[in-house]
Amino acid sequence: MTDLDATIDRLVRQIPDWPEPGVTFRDITPLLADAEALAAVVDGLVDLAEGFGPVDAVLGIEARGFIFGPAIALRIGAGFVPVRKPGKLPSASHSTSYDLEYGSASLHMHLDAIVSGSRVLVVDDILATGGTMAAATDLVTQAGGVVAGNLVLIEISELGGAERLAPTGCAALRTY
């Protein structure tokens, strides 16, 4: 275990049976409140992001992908693309629906957010079943982009999300 693993373990709180029985929510807010830990996490995510080669855009999934995505984008010299929940974007958008471990949802991205042929890095905080990141991949594909990689702070490996994202897979700073 690295020092960064220990920091993540210490500062990411597990909330059992939330938002419903059987689901364990990973609360990253204590980590975000610790400036030194947040800087170390962003550094670690940037190191992983650089392993995907050059990317034109970093796509962040609402809401917690908005925290890490812009920081990574700035550090690797890419633009940032927000992917939002329904009713949050003011212009015409691509959309896709998907299943979560405890329901269903949809994501939207402006039609002009990604230039066709762009290499895109998809960023979120947690990879569980992979439904949300697979939906983001669908949006990138609808726009004519290519997913260069998927990147998360934490992967919960027993839920099989990385396999769902094959062949691209997903890099995680911390895996459980």
Which residues does the annotation mark as catalytic? Answer: 64, 101
Answer whether 60's CB lies under 8 Å from 70's CB: yes
Closest CA to 154 of 22, 45, 20: 45
CB atoms closer than 10 angstroms to residue 28: 21
C-alpha 22: how far from chain center: 22
- Looking at residue 84, the DSSP 8-state letter turns out to be B
Radius of gyration of the chain (CA): 15
Contacts of 62 (CB under 8 A, 6+ apart): 82, 83, 84, 85, 88, 107
CB atoms closer than 10 angstroms to residue 89: 18
Residue type, 23: V
Sign of dihedral through CA atoms 71, 72, 78, 82? Answer: negative
